[in-house]
Structure 1
Amino acid sequence: MKPKKLHITIFCILLWSFSFAQQYTNYTTKDGLPSNHVYTILQDAQGFMWFLTDKGMVKYNGSNFTTFTTKDGLSNNDVWEAFTTPDGKIWYFSKASSLGYIKNDSVVSFPNSTRGEIINPTYSFQLGNDIYPMGTNKLYHLKNGTWKIFYTLKNITDDEDAYIHDYTKIFHENINYLKVHYKNEKFSIHDHDQKKLKEIYAKEILHKHTVRGQITDSLFFWTSNKMYSILNLNTLKFSSYNFKDEVGIEVVNYSRINLVGDQLQITGTGFVGFLDADLHIKNPFYFPSTLHAHFGFVDNLNTVWLSTFNKGIYKLPYLQQQIKYLFNEDKIQGFNVLNGELYANIFNKGIYKFDPLRKEFNEFIKVEEYIFSANEIEELGKNYFTTKTKIFIEHHNQLTTVDFNEGQKQSGILNSLARKFIFFEDYLYGNFSFGINKINTNDVSIEKEYIQKGTTDILTFKNRLLIATTNGLRELKNDSIHSIYFKNNTLDTSILNLTKITDQLLLINTDGFGSYLTNLETIQPLKGSEFLIVQDAFIEDKSLWLATNTGVLHFIKKDESYKLNRTYNQNDGLPNNNINSVYVNETDLIVATNSGLAILPKNQKKQSLLLDVFIKKASYNSETITTENNSFAYVNNNTLSVEVSRIDFSEDQHTSYTYKLEPIQKTWSTSVTNVFNFNDLQPNTYTLKIASNTIEKQISFTIKPLWWQTLWAKIGGIFLLLIGIVFTVWRISKKSQEKKNEKLLQEKQLSEIQLKALRSQMNPHFVFNSLAAIQYYINNNEIKASETYLVKFSKLIRQFFELSKETEINLEQEIKLIKNYLDIEKLRFKEKFEYQIHIDDLLNTKTNKIPTMLLQPIVENAVNHGIFNKMDNGKIDIYFKFIDEKNFQIEIVDDGVGVVNTQNKATKKVKSSNVLDDRLKYLNQSENWKIIYKTEELHPELTDKGNKSTFIITQL
């Protein structure tokens, strides 16, 4: 055998053996396939997998199988070939009179232009988005919605017609067709002028059953069961390769070459691989003959898919291709390390020892029963292997067996002796379900039994014998069992096992509450392991490896604490997520499960098999949302419903999504469902964003407001509301002001009435005094004086009655009234006083006004009280002074006896001076006048004190 062939053969055998140990996922009719008879497999532009069966085409997204049959529009359920084009179509080919494609889950079919004629597309091919079904002598293309004959192979003839068996149309700028001579095992290449460009001998490749076709615009291929050949249409170079030389397999049935993405994949029974730049097969993947697979396909995540004629589909992700699986479907109870070597306990098979060089487990002890553990006791130089009914003791490479039976009983309890052995204070100790046994090291007999129900594990730590139970941690102390209490917390949960990390740190693994770290004084949970079932642990330098019900958890020590670094689960190639035990060496992670054992690279990189997330269906009030139809009218109690799907070929699909509906949601929410519903959305433009892992998709739509919900309507509404508010406030204010004005008017009217009443009080007072004076003259027979007085009095009375109708008069009228009054009083007092009126030149007596008869009471008081009571003659001076255009001052000065009491003590009646105070009060309340009045004695120290009354008057 040639060296190259020998190398390939050995390589083939190794890979075949390695592949046989893989754990393929098998999909059959039980999982949703319409048939276990599968022709080929392909992957479309989106990433969906397609399986072609004899009972329809199947689309697979990693969780659901969608089958298309004649019921959906296929012309035939027996579909053996298909092509995916960059425009997202999946073209299907079968023996039928109509062919077509599937896109967006809709089947489109086009008939043969020759009605009823069957198209038998045996040698079809694809160039870009163009598909050309080709039979033995006709080539079709799609034109105006029908399949029309593009090229009839029998139309070409020449002198060598007897030797021509076949013509093949070529789509190339320089080549028109290939002319095949089967008898001479050669073919010739012809240009568009039918000129022969080259003739090539192709022995053993040209025959009727050869699969052939143009695979790219520059390559044409042939495959048989022993070899494959490729013609470069640009260089006219022809190359042939034997499968035996390339992959070590002499006969490859159903061989074919496919263009997948931008790579050429070649497959057949036994392998699938790629063609390199020199057209040699690289990276072949061998699948076991026991699967009877005839076709292999490597998808864009390097997952291998295999099709069979009777077992459906097999799948092997790329990560699992690097993993070695042993003891498939066997229960691996756990691992133990003795003298630096690894042992595996396999239920009903025995104890197996690991060979690290070959990465195999070899049988060490065969025993068909439940196996508890294997323990190394350094102090005795012995290894103990315990099972349900036996103990195997290895000493100096000699193996002895100890049997025990139901005859061995202590306290009426069946003693299984020990599930685990430890050495403590010169004795062996072993645990069983109801406690621990103190065991003689010589004959393995029980010396004492300590009852502790629910015992699960024992361990020596800090020179103390610790006991793990289903209700916390205990210890054997002073020949009895005691509970262990911690300073900072209590631990009364079910403990599965104990693992010593260092001489000062212990790991406690529980049943459903994670792991805890303790030095037996304080205890703290191992963050990242909460609520997990931790069934075993492995300590590696500064790392912790936990075997849990969710996979293997790897913790790394950082800053004196342990941080979760990574989780290994089914998506990383583990047989399942329920891990019984774990072991780690320099290169590998070895896990034990109830369905076998797996050896995988410790530093294996994670690979996500999630290809895409897409919005499958979106509707607003049952109306579909699309790119073209994304604007809707607002409806009360509306509903937005969005269904999301994904292309995910992960083994362990714990699907979750994060989402937010902008602009009403600012933060992301998490959901484990793939349907999102929102109710009663208000008019706005929305964007729903949905993400899973690193893939994010979104859909935008607009809810158009009704006329009354538009911005202008809202502005108009607000404007009208403001107008309404302003109008209402104005009306209320107006009403309030009207009430206030009415009240003021009433008060004003009341004030005027009161002023008139006050004036009416002053008039009789003055008249009484004047009449008294006239009577005085008559009684004294002073007729002439009485007549003069009476004339002046009548003139004053007439003047008074005329002015009493007015509320205000100018200063000129007031001055005349005062002069007339003083003249009368002067007559009455027989010239006992003099008076003088002083008017400021700046003061306009015609325009400046004063309330009617405001000064008269003061002048009267000066005369009747100040001057009248004086022994000598008196004098009255009245000053009218200018202050400014609106203000003036009036001073009434007399040299009489001073201020007198204005109230009659006997009758309590108010005199005219008191009436003035009331009048001034009402005048100021009327808001027409501002009058300040004050009076003062000029010479308080003298008998004739004198008096000055001052008015400061402002007309408002």
Structure 2
Amino acid sequence: MQIKIAILILFVVSNCFSQNYGTIKDLDKSMGLPSNHIYTVDFDKDHYAWICTNNGVSKFNGSIHKIFNRDNGLPTNDINEIHIDSKNRKWLKGFYDGLYYIENDSVKRIKTNLTIKSFRLFYEHNNKIIFISSNKCYLLDEKNVLSEIKIASKYQFIDFDKLNNHFILNDGNFNEFFYNLSTNKIVKLPSEYRHYIGRIGDYVTYYKSNTILEFVQSRDFKIEDLYVYIDGKFQKPPSYYRSNLKAIRYKGEFDEKHLVYYNVDENKYQVLEQGKINVELSKKVSLIPFPNDKIQRIFIDDDHNFWVGFFDFSMKYIPNDFTKSLNYDFTSIFQEKITSIKFSCQLKNKVYYITYDNTFSCFDLNTKTNKIINKYKESPPNKLFIRNDNLYLSFFDGIEVFKIKADGSLNKIKYYNIPNRVSDFTNVGLVCAHYDNVIYKENDTLTKVNTEIRINRIESTEKCIIVSNEDKIFSYNIATKQVIENSSVKFSSTIYPFNDQILIGTLDGHVFLLNNKLKIVSKLKFINDKVSAIYYDESNQLFYVGISEKLHVIRIQKNQLKLVKIITHNDGLNLSEISSISSNGSHIIIATVQGVSLLEKKIIFNKQKKSIDIDINKIKVDGKIFDYGNAMLFLERDQNSIVFETSIKSFFNNNSNLKKFISLTKDGEDKKWNAVNEDVFSFNNLAPGDYTFSILIDDLNGIRKSKTIEFTINPHFWERQSFKIICTLILLSLIVFIMFYMREKRNKKIRAKVKLNDLELKALKAQMNPHFIFNSLNNIQSTMILKGVEKFNEQMVNFSIFLRKTLDIVNSENITLAEEINYITSYLSVENQRLNPKINLILRIDQEINLNEVKIPVMLLQPIVENAIIHGLSGSKKERNLIIAISIINSLISIEIEDNGIGRNLDNKSNKLKSHTSYATKIVLNRMKLYQELTKKEYTYEIIDLTNEDLKPIGTKVVLKFPLI
């Protein structure tokens, strides 16, 4: 009873003075839960906490809540329990029909024809799950097949004993039985033993029927009143439990890892971890700063954090290291609103402080009491410091000195009537700063040193007085009177001399290490805020530097300042500006403008193993949530904007030292890490390809975790590599085809030209055939004999001119109409030498045609003229006329060669010259075809048989049409 009263008094006192553990968090709607009405919590194999409320289930990773409710498959939002099996499935318990569970963040239901009401009890044994629902029992095997365990209807299932592999039954008449599932046998319990709701470790417990009813109906028990069933008989619990457990009240679930008991007699908690008492956990649970009669259940996760459920259905999260920090809020201590603390100092477990309303007070960390020493209304204090068990309170017009008694109380012993801005105490006595002068007492004589600077700060060592302001640092050696200045350190806010060195903090967040010559040895730059306090702890050779509301721990290694750790409100520190720092040995004492924080050294600086990871909470593709498992994502081409929402998976409050990096690579590129602070990452208008998104976290304790998501953005079919290859092959094939085509076309043209040249040569040969030359020469010879030399010479000249023109045009591809007509005229002159009557050449040429400019293929007309003479005119006895008409029709040159000879029909009756006629005509036709093939233009050759009204032949007309050259 005395222990209970003492603890109650301590609790009341602690609450009166606003004692609180800075790392304890309320689990409620303000941090993302769907309701403040919390039933229970359980922890899966991936270290997520599953919290059951009356408005849904939360999957909590320490940073954010993922909510499951009826919208995503729950049968009801009111889920009062959750059980997690060896396959990491989360079985839900509530008031509904059927069996529901969550697997891979998807709500599922067991498919069965059985009608199952909400189960009461859940067990897993030999890879099978047992559900006890009302008076029925069901078994779920490894293949997810559900079957009912059928026994006589008079029996009810009330419990399952895994150690003995049997059920405990009740027949409703206060008779209880064992039912062995393997043997299918039911055995009645001895009448003096009855089943009890509590357990000891893994043992199902029993009591004798003569035990008082109040004990049975409560969750309290005495270990000596309970029995267990071992080796086929009832006996007292094993000696280990009898020695360590006494009067017990359950404060937890029947968890395989942790069972929490409250020892009623000793007013403390005891924790069984896997069947054995964990002394450290038991001590910590006993320190939980909440009344036992308010606590309903305590849950312990794998990292030994505590989740405390209360009878009012609220819940608090208490980290394993919650005892490392303890805070005292001065506003609550005064029980009225006060102004903030201006400055403070500590000695042992006493904190002396001055508020901005100039109230001088002392707070006792042992008794948690506060005492107002004085209120200064007229002259405000400007500095408070302790030297040699004396407390000095500096004012602008003097300095009060108090002797600190053993109990921490103060006795005013002296008042120095010395005007000053700031002051300190050295081995030579009191030192004061007044405007730009340093005043100290040496050999009962006041000495004044002019520094020529407006002094804001003053500190001293055994040898030196150190002052500073916004522009410089000034050092004065008391013994040698030597003065040293440093103008490179500006805006100093704190001076801390130690071991012949000086640590300087500035208003803009710099920390400088100076030697005794005021030379800068090392420096660190923090946030752009005031360095308000510095303390050196010789026990571990660490500096504690207060900057704003954070405590920076610094070590000097090889004359270089090294940051060890940053302590924030997540570590339990009061969330307000630090004013002074000290130590009482086991704790760091940090006075802030709102109160005092005590941080346990050994817990802060021990590297505690953390369970920490990264979660990908949500993936959005083009603004829509994308279902994500652990498989690779395949996205369409227009799904090229993706958002990853991430969070830190950790139930430790202090993740401020974590550094986060991300990388997005494409098609196997090397990763390039970028430091980030945010949790949501957006990537827009991504090109098609195979991507890897990676996120990595790293902290100062060497913990490094990463997570990778692979996704592919499929290209349009025309963007695919295969399509590009096919197009390339088609293009190459087309190029090759075109090359071959052009080559073939060129070759064909060459062959056509060769053939054309051949035809032209054949035409020339036809013109110059031996028969023609022989006839011409024979005719010339006859002329010489019959008509004399003069006629001979004339014919000889005509014949030679014709031969010369033939030789002139044979090397030309095209000739002008004028040249062709001259050549035909020359040819006719030779032919007329042997013909009688002679052939009359009639030319009909359009006036717009310039015969000297219009060109035609060489020797195109002569073979036709020759045909007309040989096959038409030579057989005619009447006047012989050869008409050549030249005109331009529709951009085509039209040449008509008409004779008034005997015509083709009569000529064909004679075979005498048939072969020659066919040969000449064929040459012209072939040449026309070749010209058309080469130029891709229209070339036509038409023979028209001319007749009279009686259809008798009166001549032949040949019509040539071809484009202008």
TM-score band w.r.t. shorter chain: 0.5 to 0.7
CA distance in 2, matches of 1:268, 1:105: 39
Contact 1:28/1:35 (<8 A) preserved? yes
What does the per-residue CA deviation read over 1:621-662, in whole Å, with 9 as the maximum and x for residues that have no partner?
558375687464763793233222332223245475312223
**TM-score normalised to the size of structure 2?**
0.58
Structure 1 pair 652–78 and aligned structure 2 pair: CA distance change class (3 A): same
2:523 to 509, 514, 526: 526
Cα gap change, 1:666 to 1:81, in 2 (>3 Å): closer
Partner of 1:849: none
* Deviation at residue 498 of structure 1 after TM alignment: 0.5
1:460-859 equivalences under 5 Å are 460=460, 465-470=465-470, 472-473=472-473, 485-486=485-486, 490-493=488-491, 495-503=492-500, 505-519=501-515, 520-523=517-520, 525-527=522-524, 529=526, 531=528, 533-541=530-538, 542-549=541-548, 551-576=550-575, 579-584=578-583, 587-593=586-592, 594-602=594-602, 604-607=605-608, 611-618=612-619, 624=626, 626=628, 630=632, 632=634, 635=637, 638-654=640-656, 657-663=660-666, 664=669, 666-693=671-698, 694-715=704-725
AA at the equivalent of 1:658: F
Contact 1:657 1:692 in 2 (8 A): yes
How far off its partner does 1:514 sit?
1.9
Change (3 A) 1:499 1:236: farther
Partner Cα separation in structure 1 for residue 244 and residue 599 of structure 2: 26
Deviations 1:126-184 (A, max 9, x none): 4477554435533345699998754567535xxxxxxxxx6546476975433569999
Match of 2:322, SS state, is helix
- Tell me if structure 1 keeps the 8 A contact 2:39–2:81: yes
In structure 2, the residue corresponding to 1:321 is in which secondary structure?
Answer: helix
Q: Which residue of 2 aligns with 1:102?
A: 102
Partner of 1:177: 167
Aligned mates of 1:561, 1:89 — CA distance in 2 = 53
Question: What amino acid is aligned across from residue 588 of structure 2 in structure 1?
Answer: L
The whole-number CA distance in structure 2 between the counterparts of 1:173 and 1:241 is 14
426 and 137 in structure 1: CA distance in 2 versus 1, 3 angstrom threshold:
closer
- Alignment deviations for residues 425-453 of structure 1 (CA, whole Å, 9 cap, x no partner): 7654167xx8889599999x999999987
Q: Do the aligned partners of residues 634 and 550 (structure 1) sit closer, same or farther apart at CA in structure 2, a change above 3 Å counting?
A: same
Give the aligned residue type for 2:61: N
Aligned residue among 211, 214, 236 for 2:197? 211
Conserved? CA contact 2:305–2:317, under 8 Å: yes
Give the Å deviation of 1:80.
Answer: 2.8
- 1:783-825 CA deviation, whole Å, 9 max, x = no partner? xxxxxxxxxxxxxxxxxxxxxx9xxxxxxxxxxxxxxxxxxxx
Match of residue 394 from structure 1: 403
Q: 1:538: Cα distance to partner?
A: 1.7
Q: Report deviation, 1:604.
A: 3.2
- 1:555-606 deviations in whole A, cap 9, x for unaligned? 3332233323333334544444854433346654333343532130246323
Q: Determine the structure 1 residue equivalent to 2:863.
A: none
Q: Is the 8 A contact 2:423 2:430 kept in 1?
A: no
CA distance in 2, matches of 1:425, 1:332: 31
Deviations 1:396-418 (A, max 9, x none): 989444999xxx9x9xxxx8x66
Q: CA deviation at 1:509?
A: 0.7
Deviation at 1:83, TM superposition (A): 0.7
1:510 Cα shift? 1.3
- TM-score of the aligned structures, taking structure 1 as reference length: 0.58
Equivalent pair of 1:613/1:645 in contact (CA under 8 Å) = yes
Does the 8 A contact of 2:248 with 2:261 survive in 1? Answer: no
Aligned amino acid, residue 392 of structure 2: Y
Q: 1:220 to 1:123 in 2, by over 3 A?
A: farther
In the TM superposition, residue 674 of structure 1 has moved relative to its aligned partner by 2.2
Distance in 2 (alpha carbons) for counterparts of 1:393 and 1:278: 58
Counterpart-to-counterpart distance in 1, 2:627 and 2:181: 52
Equivalent residue letter for 2:391 = N
Residue 303 of structure 1 deviates from its aligned partner by 1.0
Distance in 2 of aligned mates of 1:322 and 1:689: 35
Look up the match of 2:310: 308
1:304/1:395 CA distance change after superposition, 3 Å: closer
The 3 A distance-change label for structure 1 pair 368 and 295 is farther
Q: Does the CA-based 8 Å contact 2:251-2:298 persist in structure 1?
A: no
Match of 2:392 in 1: 384
SS in 2 for 1:46: coil
- Counterpart amino acid of residue 53 in structure 1: T
Q: Counterpart of 2:132?
A: 134
Counterpart contact for 2:511–2:525, Cα < 8 Å: no
TM-fit CA distance, 1:726: 9.6
SS at match of 2:524: coil
1:492 is matched by which residue type in structure 2? K
CA contact (8 A) 2:619 2:627 kept: yes
Aligned partner of residue 318 in structure 1, secondary structure: coil
Question: Counterpart in 1 of 2:255?
Answer: 259
Distance in 1 between residues matched to 2:737 and 2:114, nearest whole Å = 84
CA contact 1:304–1:318 (8 Å) conserved in 2: yes
Distance 2:689 2:405 in 1: 83
Counting aligned pairs with the same residue, the percent is 17
Who is 2:351 aligned against?
A: 344
Distance 1:588 1:403, change over 3 A: closer
Separation in structure 1 between the aligned mates of residue 120 and residue 503 of structure 2, nearest angstrom: 66
User: d(CA) in 2 for partners of 1:571 and 1:476?
Assistant: 42
Deviation at 1:49, TM superposition (A): 1.8
Shift of 1:313: 1.9
Cα distance in 2, alignment partners of residues 633 and 37 from structure 1: 41
**Structure 2 residue identity aligned to 1:591:** I
Q: 1:586 to 1:647 in 2, by over 3 A?
A: same
CA contact (8 A) 1:221 1:257 kept: no
| TM-superposed deviation, 1:673 | 2.1
- Give the stretch that moved more between structures: 706-715 or 722-731: 722-731
CA, structure 1 residues 9+645, in 2 after alignment: closer, same or farther (shift >3 Å)?
Answer: same
* Structure 2 letter corresponding to 1:526: K
Write the distance in 2 (CA, Å) between the matches of 1:436 and 1:185: 96
* Secondary structure in structure 1 of the residue aligned to 2:321: helix
* Matched-pair contact (CA < 8 Å) for 1:113–1:148: no
Q: Whole-Å Cα distance in 1 between the matches of residues 352 and 165 of structure 2?
A: 67
CA distance in 2, matches of 1:135, 1:83: 15
Structure 1 residue ranges without an equivalent (≥5): 157-165, 735-804, 806-956
Q: Is the 8 A contact 2:26 2:315 kept in 1?
A: yes
Mapped to 1, the partners of 2:86 and 2:132 lie a distance apart of: 21
1:82 aligns with 2:68: no
Q: Following TM superposition, by how much is the alpha carbon of 1:91 offset from its aligned partner in structure 2, in angstroms?
A: 1.9
Q: How many equivalent residue pairs?
A: 694
Q: What is the distance in 2 between the residues matched to 1:94 and 1:371?
A: 65
Instruction: Specify the code of the residue in structure 1 equivalent to 2:488.
Output: T
- CA RMSD, Structure 1 to Structure 2 (Å): 5.9
What is the distance in 1 between the residues matched to 2:475 and 2:107?
72
1:54-109: per-residue Cα shift (whole Å, max 9, x none)?
44433322233444445555444443322122333322222333452234554445
Query: Structure 1 residues 21, 50: closer, same or farther in 2, change over 3 A?
Result: same
Deviation at 1:236, TM superposition (A): 6.0
The answer (yes or no) to whether the contact 2:123–2:160 under 8 Å persists in 1 is no
